[in-house]
Amino acid sequence: MDVLDEILEGLSDGNWHSLNELSTHGELEKLSKTQLMVFVKFLARFDFIELNCGKRIVEAKIHPSIKVFIREMKELERQEEIGGKV
Protein backbone atom coordinates (compact mmCIF):
# COMPACT_ATOMS: atom_id res chain seq x y z
CA MET A 1 0.00 0.00 0.00
CA ASP A 2 1.42 3.40 -0.84
CA VAL A 3 1.57 6.40 1.50
CA LEU A 4 -1.53 8.14 0.17
CA ASP A 5 -3.56 4.94 0.49
CA GLU A 6 -2.25 4.44 4.04
CA ILE A 7 -3.31 7.96 5.02
CA LEU A 8 -6.79 7.53 3.55
CA GLU A 9 -7.11 4.12 5.22
CA GLY A 10 -6.07 5.65 8.55
CA LEU A 11 -8.76 8.30 8.17
CA SER A 12 -11.44 5.99 6.74
CA ASP A 13 -13.62 6.09 9.86
CA GLY A 14 -14.47 9.74 9.11
CA ASN A 15 -13.28 11.03 12.48
CA TRP A 16 -10.62 13.63 13.19
CA HIS A 17 -7.15 12.17 13.81
CA SER A 18 -4.01 13.98 14.89
CA LEU A 19 -0.91 13.58 12.75
CA ASN A 20 0.73 11.89 15.74
CA GLU A 21 -2.04 9.30 15.78
CA LEU A 22 -1.96 8.91 12.01
CA SER A 23 1.81 8.43 12.02
CA THR A 24 1.36 5.15 13.94
CA HIS A 25 -0.70 3.63 11.12
CA GLY A 26 1.12 0.94 9.13
CA GLU A 27 3.89 2.13 6.83
CA LEU A 28 3.39 5.74 7.95
CA GLU A 29 5.59 4.95 10.96
CA LYS A 30 8.59 5.15 8.62
CA LEU A 31 7.89 8.78 7.68
CA SER A 32 9.11 11.84 9.52
CA LYS A 33 6.42 14.28 10.68
CA THR A 34 7.59 16.67 7.94
CA GLN A 35 7.21 14.02 5.24
CA LEU A 36 3.77 13.05 6.54
CA MET A 37 2.72 16.71 6.52
CA VAL A 38 3.72 17.02 2.84
CA PHE A 39 1.44 14.12 1.91
CA VAL A 40 -1.39 15.36 4.12
CA LYS A 41 -1.21 18.85 2.61
CA PHE A 42 -1.31 17.32 -0.87
CA LEU A 43 -4.48 15.38 -0.05
CA ALA A 44 -6.04 18.49 1.51
CA ARG A 45 -5.14 20.63 -1.51
CA PHE A 46 -7.19 18.34 -3.74
CA ASP A 47 -10.06 17.97 -1.22
CA PHE A 48 -9.46 14.32 -0.36
CA ILE A 49 -9.16 15.27 3.31
CA GLU A 50 -9.93 18.20 5.58
CA LEU A 51 -7.26 19.74 7.80
CA ASN A 52 -7.66 21.47 11.14
CA CYS A 53 -4.40 23.26 11.91
CA GLY A 54 -4.35 24.50 15.48
CA LYS A 55 -1.48 26.08 17.37
CA ARG A 56 -0.44 22.83 19.02
CA ILE A 57 -2.04 20.09 16.94
CA VAL A 58 -2.81 19.30 13.33
CA GLU A 59 -5.80 17.07 12.72
CA ALA A 60 -7.11 15.50 9.55
CA LYS A 61 -10.22 13.67 8.49
CA ILE A 62 -11.34 12.20 5.22
CA HIS A 63 -13.70 14.31 3.14
CA PRO A 64 -17.19 12.75 3.27
CA SER A 65 -17.46 12.39 -0.52
CA ILE A 66 -14.12 10.56 -0.66
CA LYS A 67 -15.26 8.25 2.13
CA VAL A 68 -18.33 7.34 0.05
CA PHE A 69 -16.19 6.87 -3.06
CA ILE A 70 -13.77 4.51 -1.28
CA ARG A 71 -16.63 2.51 0.24
CA GLU A 72 -18.25 2.13 -3.19
CA MET A 73 -14.95 1.10 -4.81
CA LYS A 74 -14.38 -1.55 -2.13
CA GLU A 75 -17.89 -2.87 -2.72
CA LEU A 76 -17.27 -3.07 -6.47
CA GLU A 77 -14.00 -4.92 -5.86
CA ARG A 78 -15.79 -7.33 -3.53
CA GLN A 79 -18.50 -7.97 -6.11
CA GLU A 80 -15.90 -8.58 -8.82
CA GLU A 81 -14.14 -11.11 -6.58
CA ILE A 82 -17.41 -12.92 -5.93
CA GLY A 83 -18.38 -12.78 -9.60
CA GLY A 84 -14.98 -14.04 -10.68
CA LYS A 85 -15.18 -17.07 -8.37
CA VAL A 86 -18.64 -18.20 -9.48
Q: What's residue 30's pLDDT?
A: 93
Strand partners, 49: 62
Q: Is the full-model pTM beyond 0.85?
A: no
User: For the chain (length 86 residues), average pLDDT per consecutive 10?
Assistant: 88 94 91 93 96 91 94 90 70
Q: What's residue 68's pLDDT?
A: 93
Rounded CA-CA distance 82/70 in Å is 18
φ, ψ (nearest 5 deg) of residue 63: -70, 135
What the chain holds in terms of domains, given with CATH numbers, is 3-85 (1.10.10.10)
